[in-house]
Amino acid sequence: MDKDLQSIQEARRLVEAAHAAWEKFEEFSEDQVEAILEAISLAGIAHARTLAEMAVEETGFGRVEDKTLKNIFCARDVYQAIRALKTVGIVSEDTEQKIIEVASPVGVIAGIIPSTNPTSTTIYKALISLKGRNAIVFSPHPSAVRSINETVRIIREAAENAGAPPGVLSSMETPTMEGTNELMRHRQTAVILATGGPGLVQAAYSAGKPAFGVGPGNVPAYIEQSADVAKAVADVLTGKCFDNGTLCSSEQSLIVDDAIRDAVLSELNSQGAYVCNDAESQRIESVIQTPGGTLNINIVGQSATRIAGMAGIDVPASTRALIGMARGVGRQYPLSMEKLSPVLAFYSVKDWREGCQKCIEILNFGGLGHTLGLHSADDGIIREFALQKPAYRICVNTPAALGAVGYTTNLFPSMTLGCGAFGGNITSDNISPLHLINLKRVAFGVREVASTDSEAKVSEPVRSGAIGRSQIASIVDGWLDRQAPGTLPTTPKSRARPAIISAEPAGLAPPLANYEQLEPSVAPPSSPPTPAEFVSEDDVRAAAAANSKIIVDDHTIITPSARELGAQLDIFVGDD
């Protein structure tokens, strides 16, 4: 069978099976879901190194030690972060506003997995999807099929042994672009979680489904002159060298104030970086970019020594990173692009204002909305950067690569980092289970619908307490005066209060509460009761509190809310 057709058919089969599993899974209780997540977490931790070794062997990217740490980060840290989130049943209840929020799963999720972080991203996406009682079907990058599918096999078995419905976790064994498009466009696919290159992310956004895709992370790191230089350099190299630079949040360019330029270069050398001269920098540029202006895939996730060898540069075997002297920003300056390897562009600026502009220039060249690293002890400058930079994660005095994903900061632990409107994404958040549920809102009525008739206009202020009774009487008098002669019965201008018939035993004072302030007119026992001319909702409530009735006749003006309440409480009696 043609491989593309086989992939399309496989996508259809997996989505349909996932949808059937989801229909069962959405009925699970919070405790049942948590048992499944814990099983996945423990399985991910137990197999973290094995999966890391498999990923490095299959893709050739990164370092086993760092991929192991990423696997543990997703299996342990992400799991611990999502445990407290309410994603099943009633998740909040605001008694004051009278609104109840109920979590509802979105359904089947299409999880697109990259080759740079294959196993860790799979664990992460499985946890955040199942936390919301969703099913997920993975589409592996073609160069990481074996390691991704082994990860899915391990966590699927753990999940099913803990009670998950079969099919709630699955992965394509024959992924092609056609099959992945079918997965994303299938009528039973609800949401797309896309991690990959710009073409794949664009395809996700064009699939006609809600999609969480992320933009490139061309991350600038600025060291301002008030920073602790030794720590700043250590942080930058830690982030840049982690897993050979395969995290999208890893530092790509280093911007330094002129006042500390020499100190930073000296520190880079002493901490294992190799600072290239101008000629060597141009050699590095020649291997970074293809003739078509794209990133050379052969340097992705490779060691600094290997990339130096590709460029014909002799460096010490202990070299951690290559520092290239950048001549500008843009396509004609390959050092300024996202490199996904332990290669840093180096720029010097006269002060933080120029540094600010250089960071913006770099972000505009392929990193809008993603991440920025800032090293400074000046709180004012830090705040200025927060106000001005088109990046949604500004990581201060920490490795940007690890701070952005929440490993060294209190940002939500995540392997999918939204770039917001700047980066063409729907959100600027670190994607969590809360992005994969919908909220039903149960809202109770708290006010009546305003009416256009005059009675409702009079009654609404009385009920809300906006004006007093004397003002109401004045409003009603004015309305009566404006009526045409003969349209209303002749009544005196002084407004009679509701006539009250007490239901209390003789000799006992009725429990009037606050009703005395309304100055009710009570007919003497020897005189026939006089029907009320005007009755509001407050009058009805006062009569009810007094265990009394209100006399009305055909000429009594009764507000709609008073009429409804009076009927419910059986307050009105006719003038018989």
Sheet (strand 90-94) strand order: 90-94, 99-105, 437-443
Q: Mean pLDDT across the chain, nearest whole number?
A: 89
Q: Which two tokens stand for residue 31?
A: 């405790």
Confidence grade of residue 241 (pLDDT, cut at 50, 70, 90): very high
Of 398 and 452, which is predicted with more confidence? 398
User: CA 293, CA 71: separation in Å to the nearest integer?
Assistant: 33
Token look-up 């809300």 returns 464
pLDDT above 80 for 492: no
In the set 248, 276, 356, 419, the catalytic residue is 248
Q: Does 419 participate in catalysis according to the annotation?
A: no
Picking from 28, 19, 20, 40, the residue whose alpha carbon sits closest to that of residue 132 is 28
pLDDT at position 162, please?
A: 98
Confidence grade of residue 554 (pLDDT, cut at 50, 70, 90): confident
What CATH fold (topology level) applies to the domain 219-409?
Aldehyde Dehydrogenase; Chain A, domain 2 (3.40.309)
DSSP H/E element including 543: helix 537-545
pLDDT at position 541, please?
A: 87
Task: Give the pLDDT confidence of 351-386 residue by residue, as tens digits.
Answer: 999 999 999 999 999 999 999 999 999 999 999 999
**Count of alpha carbons within 13 Å of 182, Cβ hemisphere only?**
20
Contact partners, residue 20, CB within 8 Å, separation at least 6: 167
Confidence grade of residue 485 (pLDDT, cut at 50, 70, 90): low
Mean pLDDT for 428-443 is 97
Instruction: Label the pairing between strands 273-275 and 437-443.
Output: unpaired
**3-214+435-442: CATH, from 3.40.605.10, 3.40.50.1950, 3.20.20.70, 3.40.50.2300:** 3.40.605.10
Task: Give the pLDDT confidence of 159-192 residue by residue, as tens digits.
Answer: 999 999 999 999 999 999 999 999 999 999 999 9
pLDDT at position 202, please?
A: 86
Task: Give the pLDDT confidence of 191-201 residue by residue, as tens digits.
Answer: 999 988 778 88
Confidence grade of residue 109 (pLDDT, cut at 50, 70, 90): very high
Q: State the DSSP code for 188.
A: T
Per-domain residue ranges of the chain: 3-214+435-442, 219-409, 454-574
Runs of H (alpha helix) within 26-105: 30-46, 48-59, 64-72, 79-83
User: CA 550, CA 427: separation in Å to the nearest integer?
Assistant: 59
